[in-house]
Structure 1
Amino acid sequence: MRRIALSIYWGFLTVVRSFTLVRQKDAAAYYTTLGDDVIDFLDEGFVDDDKPLWLNLGYWKEARTYPDACVAMVELLGTRAGLQPGDEVLDVGVGFAEQDFVLLDRFKLSRVTGIDITPVHIEKGRERVAKRGLQDRIDLRLGSATAMEFPDATFDTVLALECAFHFDTREQFLREAFRVLKPGGSIAIADMLPVPGKKTSRATAFARKYGHVPEANLYDREEYPRRLSAAGFGDVRVESIRQDVFPGMAKYSRQRVEGKKMDEVVVEVSEDDRAQCRGVEIWERGVGLTDYVIASARKPSDA
């Protein structure tokens, strides 16, 4: 009975919260409303300075807690990008900069510049950077992924962690990323897409509109390499990791909604969960983006 009651309560809150989210005029307003927690209606208003402010679904191949899954996703993305000590990195859609702390520590980068269109992300991110004394190594700015203020050939690497599906359009972002990369520089993107061969419903089109996911971005992992190549990139690789993302995040979300705090949730994902990609129906019923890929490529050295 308690589980049924919680499910009803979760459903009610989801409807109320979703109505509030879909009324937002753009992605910046959407994420401002979402607040300090990746799960809808669990925003705590930044009352806890020690709370990790992750906004991605996490990589649950080995991780069992949400912060560990988010760190694993960042490490996977950085590895696919081929990050090297001393690199100058542009982090697009930086959020609250949680990933930048991991990037600096794990890959010994020289400097990370982060851009985001959401003012509260930059404001809170700067506070967190200053608290760690990292202002000389992490520079956070308001800015658009599709109209960057940086000169040509500025960065060694461009990263985009779970945000490119919002960009209007993703292809314009790819062109801008190519422009600001140094010759030989790399790009790596953690992105959400439709599954190949599966059409999305009319209901999910409505959700995408108000979740600020342009229809122009609605292509699959078979088309993605062609878009990267068309932007000028070579050494293109696009791999689905959906089985190590959606089941873990679905189990984490349910425990949080049932009342557990972030640091109390431990997730166990079975091989059958992975094989069936259990939990993906949450995203299938929502925006219809049921594939999760890591895309990487390189700007030719002679470009």
Structure 2
Amino acid sequence: MRKVALAIYWNWLAFVRSFSLVRQKNAAAYYTTLGDDVIDFMDEGYADDSKPRWLNIGYWKEARTYPQACAAMVELLGTRAGLQPTDEVLDVGVGFAEQDFVLVDRFKLARITCIDITPVHVEKSRERVAERGLADRIDIRLGSATALEFPDESFDKVLALESAFNFDTREDFLREAFRVLKPAGTIALADMLPCPGRTAGRRRAAFGRRYAHFPEANFYDREAYPQHLIAAGFDDVSVESIRSDVFPGMAKYAQQRVERKQKIDEVVVDITDDDRAQCRGVEFWERSLGIGDYVIATARKPLIVGVPAERAGTQMS
């Protein structure tokens, strides 16, 4: 009877949390309500300062735990961006700054400027940065991705790790990123998209996107993605799908964690070649959001704006 009672309570708590999230009017309010965990109803109210506070899905090509997968995604994005220690870097949509700790450690960045639209993210990130003695290297600011408060040509690299699909709109962000990048600067994004050819889908998926604050203007696939980058002024565009190394691992992690009530770093997942080949687990995102693709996209600002490099080299995979 005790197990049944606990199950009923857990389901009730999940329903209350999900209903509360649905009611939020914008992305900042949504993430404020979401709290310190990427799984909707497993927020612990910031009670444990040692808890990893990742809010993305992760890159599971070799990783077997969620923190490992999240760090691997940061490393992949930084590598594709070509980060160098001397780069002036802008990281847009930083969550709780877990990714920035990885960036300064892995790529030896002298300084990184970070913005997020959610006040509690900025507050908690600043606390964590100060605790680690990194305030001189990681600058956390409250700000909007679509109205960047920086002068033209301020940065060598602009990063957006699993955040651009929330921007209202992604196109506005791309134009702003182009503006603040120095000539020959690079933008790199890890982004969630519908699969090629996917339409807006059923009413449930459209509701899910509203619930997750995924603007319909951002609902286009990786075949259209390069054109949006080019329209913003970028060249040397590459858009690569890594969906099979993302969704199966995250699906297994979430299922095990919820079923076993484990902490973030206690879950160890085993991903088979067949899981990857079938992209098992992606069905959850497809049903709830109409999303089934995950890409790493990079592009470069021309050295001389208005005199574009050869665009025939645009890559898509």
Q: What band does the TM-score fall into relative to the shorter chain?
A: over 0.9
Match of 2:77 in 1: 77
Match of 1:24 in 2: 24
Task: Establish whether residue 214 from structure 1 lines up as the match of residue 215 from structure 2.
Answer: yes
RMSD: 1.9
User: 2: CA distance between counterparts of 1:224 and 1:56?
Assistant: 21
User: What SS is found at the alignment partner of 1:148?
Assistant: coil
Alpha-carbon distance, 1:137 to partner:
0.7
Instruction: Provide the identity percentage.
Output: 75
Residues 225-265 of structure 1 deviation map (CA, whole Å, 9 limit, x = unaligned): 01001101111000111111110001100111021112211
Q: Choose 217-226 or 252-261, whichever is displaced more.
A: 252-261
Alpha-carbon distance, 1:118 to partner:
0.2
Superposition pairs of residues 166-177 of structure 1, within 5 angstroms: 166-177=166-177
Q: Choose 15-24 or 160-169, whichever is displaced more.
A: 15-24
Task: Establish whether residue 48 from structure 1 lines up as the match of residue 48 from structure 2.
Answer: yes
Alpha-carbon distance, 1:11 to partner:
6.1
TM-score normalised by L of structure 2: 0.91
Residues 64-118 of structure 1 deviation map (CA, whole Å, 9 limit, x = unaligned): 0000000000000001111112111100001111101110111111211110110
User: 1: CA distance between counterparts of 2:4 and 2:273?
Assistant: 27
Residues 192-246 of structure 1 deviation map (CA, whole Å, 9 limit, x = unaligned): 0100122222211112122211100000000000100110111100011111111
Task: Establish whether residue 247 from structure 1 lines up as the match of residue 279 from structure 2.
Answer: no
Match of 1:34 in 2: 34
User: 1: CA distance between counterparts of 2:97 and 2:7?
Assistant: 33
User: What SS is found at the alignment partner of 1:174?
Assistant: helix
Match of 2:272 in 1: 270
User: 2: CA distance between counterparts of 1:11 and 1:287?
Assistant: 21
8 A Cα contact 1:59 1:244, kept in partner: yes
User: What SS is found at the alignment partner of 1:179?
Assistant: helix
User: 1: CA distance between counterparts of 2:10 and 2:16?
Assistant: 10
User: 2: CA distance between counterparts of 1:8 and 1:75?
Assistant: 40
8 A Cα contact 1:160 1:190, kept in partner: yes
User: 2: CA distance between counterparts of 1:187 and 1:11?
Assistant: 41
User: 1: CA distance between counterparts of 2:173 and 2:188?
Assistant: 12
Which runs of 5 or more structure 1 residues have no equivalent in the other structure? none
8 A Cα contact 2:184 2:303, kept in partner: yes
User: 1: CA distance between counterparts of 2:9 and 2:46?
Assistant: 24
Q: Which amino acid aligns with 1:234?
A: D
Q: Which amino acid aligns with 1:26?
A: N
Alpha-carbon distance, 1:50 to partner:
1.0
Residues 23/83 of structure 1: CA separation in 2 closer, same or farther (3 Å cut): same
Residues 103-152 of structure 1 deviation map (CA, whole Å, 9 limit, x = unaligned): 01111112111101100000000000000111111110100000010000
Match of 1:281 in 2: 283
User: 2: CA distance between counterparts of 1:205 and 1:5?
Assistant: 34
Which runs of 5 or more structure 2 residues have no equivalent in the other structure? 306-317
Match of 2:57 in 1: 57
User: What SS is found at the alignment partner of 1:168?
Assistant: coil
Q: Choose 207-216 or 95-104, whichever is displaced more.
A: 207-216
Alpha-carbon distance, 1:15 to partner:
3.6
Superposition pairs of residues 153-164 of structure 1, within 5 angstroms: 153-164=153-164
8 A Cα contact 1:10 1:257, kept in partner: no
TM-score normalised by L of structure 1: 0.96
Match of 1:261 in 2: 263
8 A Cα contact 2:198 2:221, kept in partner: no
Match of 2:300 in 1: 298
Residues 71/50 of structure 1: CA separation in 2 closer, same or farther (3 Å cut): same
